[in-house]
Amino acid sequence: MIWRTSDGKTRTFSWRLASSTMPGYMGDKSGMTVHHLAMKKYECKIYHVKKKNQSYFIPDTLDCAKKEGFSPCSHCIGKSP
């Protein structure tokens, strides 16, 4: 898959490199909130999310996160229209 980084460059993403590549979204199972890692804010407090509460999505999309029951974080994603 191909994704766009925050500096506007496009990179090809390979799942084989998933462990060394930053994912786009991270779910916090303790609050059932999904954060957009490239847009994270201080208020997200994602560094306080315990490893066991971290959830990643395949495919790495907001839709996928919503289907798994996560709500978009109001700080980094905002309310969807």
* Longest pairwise C-alpha distance within the chain: 35
Shortest distance in whole angstroms from residue 13 CB to Zn ion = 21
- What tokens does 36 get? 């957009």
Cα(42)–Cα(63) distance, rounded to whole angstroms?
24
C-alpha 80, offset from chain centre: 15
Q: Is 73 in the site for Zn ion (CB under 5 A)?
A: yes
Q: Closer to Zn ion by CB, 2 or 63: give it.
A: 63
Which residues inside 11-70 make contact with Zn ion, applying CB under 5 A?
35, 44
Interface residue list for Zn ion (CB under 5 A)? 35, 44, 73, 75-76
